[in-house]
């Protein structure tokens, strides 16, 4: 269990990749709760709009795939004051199957979804360790639980984040640094807008943000939602591969 994060008044949160979707909704919720919100993303226009709508919020344009930019942004943020929570929610997704393997897309997923998280950790972990305080939260996906059709590029990066978060928790629990893993199901965001299939148990970004804040308030490591969908996905992880494969083929037709 992590320390319960319930009172956000005066606490500083850096949300990376929060110009839209889950990240933006979470940033808005934290702002309403009294947190000092810092938002980073590539989309400068969206950042300006966020700052206008959330007085006092700070914004830093940044490409997570550029380690020097991440390091520079972190230095600028830490010069303002200490960080209490860092949420990595940058994400990139396009469908891909092995029958149409695209190396450039494979690498782009890795750069944004996984390497970007490592760059942020490299920039903030020394600060958090020196303070012996703080919280790191990584947004993964149920797509990282097991292999899925059309998820050749996306799924492995989200699986890597799950393993990374689990290891961070084990390493940092004695350093008084909290770690949480966020695994959403389907959420109506720009990333999922291209899906041509019916997405079960689809949530709004605000519903996802509410679930994240509830998980932090309860001190959970594993924050997954909506539970009616994610619990079923967790059960599928327990099946022998032959049975799992049969269920996936029957469900998706692929």
Q: Which tens digit of pLDDT belongs to each residue from 189-213? A: 777 767 666 767 778 999 999 999 9
Please give the CATH number for the structural domain made up of 12-252: 3.40.50.720
Q: What pLDDT is attached to residue 193?
A: 61
Is 144 in a helix, a strand, or coil?
Answer: helix
Q: What pLDDT is attached to residue 76?
A: 97
116 CB-contact burial (10 Å; exposed 0-12 / middle 13-18 / buried 19+) = buried
Overall pTM surpassing 0.85 (yes/no): yes
In 3D space, the residue among 28, 32, 50 whose CA is nearest the CA of residue 41 turns out to be: 50
* Mean pLDDT to the nearest integer, 104-132: 98
Render pLDDT for 138-190 as a digit per residue (tens, 0 to 9).
Answer: 999 999 999 999 999 999 999 999 999 999 999 999 999 999 999 999 787 77
């Amino acid at each position: 269990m992590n320390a319960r994060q319930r009172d956000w008044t005066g606490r500083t949160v850096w949300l990376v990749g929060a110009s839209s979707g889950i990240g933006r909704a979470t940033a808005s919720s934290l702002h309403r709760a009294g947190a000092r919100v810092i938002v980073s993303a590539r989309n400068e226009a969206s950042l300006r709009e966020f700052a206008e709508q959330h007085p006092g919020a700070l914004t830093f344009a940044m490409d997570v795939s550029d380690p020097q930019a991440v390091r520079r942004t972190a230095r600028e943020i830490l010069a303002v004051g200490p960080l209490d929570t860092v949420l990595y929610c940058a994400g990139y997704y396009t469908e891909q199957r092995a029958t149409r393997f695209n190396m450039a897309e494979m690498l782009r997923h890795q750069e944004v979804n996984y390497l970007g998280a490592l760059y942020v950790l490299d920039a903030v972990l020394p600060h958090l360790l020196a303070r012996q305080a703080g919280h790191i939260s990584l947004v993964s996906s149920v797509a990282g639980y097991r292999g899925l059709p059309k998820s050749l590029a996306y799924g492995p990066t989200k699986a890597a984040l799950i393993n990374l978060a689990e290891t961070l928790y084990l390493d940092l629990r004695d350093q008084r640094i909290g770690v949480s893993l966020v695994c959403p199901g389907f959420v109506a965001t720009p990333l999922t807008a291209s899906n041509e299939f019916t997405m079960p148990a689809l949530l709004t970004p605000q519903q996802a943000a509410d679930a994240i804040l509830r998980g932090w308030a309860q001190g959970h490591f594993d924050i997954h939602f909506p539970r009616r969908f994610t619990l079923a996905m967790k059960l599928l992880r327990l099946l022998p591969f032959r049975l799992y494969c049969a269920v996936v083929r029957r469900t998706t037709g692929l």
